[in-house]
Amino acid sequence: MPKISLLTLGCAKNLVDSEVMLARLDSRGYSFSADLSQADILIINTCGFIGPAREEAHRAIDLGLRWKQSKPGRLLAVVGCYPERFPDYLRARYPQVDVWSGVRAFDRIDEIIEKKKDVPRPVTFLLDHRTPRVISTGPYWAYVKISEGCSHRCSFCSIPLIKGPYRSRTVESVVREVRNLAALGIKEINLISHDTTYFGRDRKKPALTALLSKLLSVKGIEWIRLLYGYPEEVDDSLLEMMLEPKMCRYLDLPFQHSSDSILKKMGRGLGGTRALKLLDKIRKKVPGVAIRSSLIVGFPGEGRKEFRELQNFVARARFEHLGVFCYSAEPGTRAARLPDTVSEAEKKRRQQAVMQQQRKISRQFYSTFRGQILDVIVDGSEARKPGYLAARARFQAPEVDGQVLVEAAPGLRKMGLPPFLKVRIKRSLDYDLVGQVTHD
């Protein structure tokens, strides 16, 4: 059978879709190679959410075309969000690509590449507990996608245009998948969605706390983390659930901005004053919680006053983790009709200014752990720092936050990597911690 290389771009939700494709192809007898020169088929799973993601996809497609042209008979397939969003444009720009497919048929990728034809479906593909996956993360953690699509109507966001309205899985389906993962040795699950806190609301019955209650009883799972929630949907029942021992006291809540005038244009409902009150409530009810957020700079109408408001908000919010993105107008969204009043150079300056501000906050946050003993989950060897293991504490989500770098003693390497270690923190960096294993 032909050898396949699969390149995944974008977010964790894309990664899960790629894991589904890998499992489907594996069940059909295909083999795989991480070395592109050895592959006969290249599948690029793209992101089309924002301009920089599409630019990354273009670079990957250009690479794929050079690879295809270097040896006769090779096949290039481009799938995912970008071809779902702009199929005609991409087909015209890259006629040499053999196969195009959007977000509706990841579980039938073998048919798509064999027939060189997409599989028509009315809605975005949503896996369930019966869907095979090749877990590519780990060794002890995995993502669990609980829904697809989004029913919010933020003026700047193209997700509803790509994925359609929000569709929840059933509670039982998610629980059964998590049991399957636990049987494979997974210890940490990270629940992902375009909006985890919306889970079940499309069925007129909010179900996130009901889901979490059942997941807490799954044997073998020791850490449960929520990613990608909405601030407006955080309620007391969720905060009470966060106190359970298996729950990571971690919330990922994109506030996007703090200026009332900008938020109104964004179609968001939680201004800076209310956001700060919510943060205060969360921290009082869930001591030790770590909060990640994301912000957008350079949105149309963001003048110096609005940007100062944002900087003041960041100073007062003191997020443990923060991402800052430059606004880009997305075709088809309401915000794209607004005049872009901030230059690209100024957007980048503002992004750098907020991230420099956040760096100081993060440095102070991480410094509080010096001398402490932390439970960490082991991700593996740290390739960039030989002699160290890469691990994470409960307040660090995989792939987006910092790490705990653990001095790997020879005895530890010989015994193999356990799921969890106790680590005494010796040093703190801007976004990482450094420590050594302790048996205290």
User: Do the domain assignments include residue 121?
Assistant: no
Is 395 a domain residue?
yes
Residue 411 pLDDT > 70: no
pLDDT (average), residues 68-85:
97
Q: What is the mean pLDDT of residues 270-289?
A: 96
Residue 91 has pLDDT above 80, yes or no: yes
Question: Has residue 176 been placed in a domain?
Answer: yes
User: What's the average model confidence in pLDDT over 246-259?
Assistant: 97
What local confidence, expressed as pLDDT, does residue 413 receive? Answer: 57
Please check whether residues 62 and 193 belong to one and the same domain.
no
C-alpha distances (whole Å) from 191 to each of 22, 247, 358, 401 are 20, 11, 26, 16
| 154 occurs within a structural domain | yes
- Residue 226 forms part of a structural domain: yes
Residue finishing a domain among 338, 367, 396: 367
| Pick from 188, 178, 190: nearest CA to 141 | 188
Q: What angle do CA 409, 414, 417 make, to 5 degrees?
A: 80
| Mean pLDDT across 307-317 | 98
Specify if 420 maps to a domain. yes
Whether residues 189 and 103 share a domain: the answer is: no
- Long-range pairs, 360-365, Cβ under 8 A, ≥24: 361/314, 361/315, 361/318, 361/319, 361/322, 362/320, 362/321, 362/322, 362/402, 362/430, 362/431, 363/428, 363/429, 363/430, 365/318, 365/320
Same domain, 90 and 184: no
CA atoms of 81 and 146, how far apart (whole Å): 18
Give the pair of three-digit tokens for residue 158: 């193209």
Instruction: Tell whether 190 and 276 lie within a shared domain.
Output: yes
pLDDT digits (tens, 9 = 90+) for 215-232: 999 999 999 999 999 999
Q: Are residues 390 and 262 in the same domain?
A: no
Arithmetic mean of pLDDT over the chain? 95
**In this model, does residue 257 exceed pLDDT 80?**
yes
Residues 394 and 271 both lie in one domain: no
- Domain membership of residue 292 (yes or no) is yes
Q: How far apart are CA 73 and CA 75, in angstroms?
A: 7
Check which CATH number belongs to the domain holding 418 and give it. Answer: 2.40.50.140
Tens of pLDDT, residues 171-202: 999 999 999 999 999 999 999 999 999 999 99
Residue 383 reports pLDDT greater than 80: no
| Domain stop point among 367, 383, 405 | 367
- For residues 415 and 426, what is the distance between their CA atoms, to the nearest angstrom? 23
Same domain, 105 and 249: no
Is 313 within the bounds of a domain? yes
Q: Domain count for the chain, please give it.
A: 3
**331 and 273 housed in the same domain:** yes
Mean pLDDT throughout 265-292? Answer: 96
Q: Which domain, by its residues, includes 253?
A: 141-367
Q: Check which CATH number belongs to the domain holding 219 and give it.
A: 3.80.30.20
Tell me, yes or no, whether 28 and 111 share the same domain: yes
Portion of the chain with pLDDT greater than 90, in percent? 92
> Does position 355 have pLDDT exceeding 60, yes or no?
yes
Residue 412 pLDDT greater than 80, yes or no: no
Domain stop point among 352, 367, 382:
367
Quick one: how many helices (H) and strands (E) in the chain?
Answer: 14, 18
pLDDT (0 to 100) of residue 206: 87
Q: Residue 275: pLDDT band by 50, 70, 90 thresholds?
A: very high
Give mean pLDDT, residues 155-164: 96
Q: Are 235 and 337 in the same domain?
A: yes
**308 and 183, same domain (yes or no):** yes
Question: Is residue 106 located within the same domain as residue 165?
Answer: no
CATH number for the domain spanning 93: value is 3.40.50.12160
Residue 269: what pLDDT?
A: 83
* Arithmetic mean of pLDDT, 152-168: 96
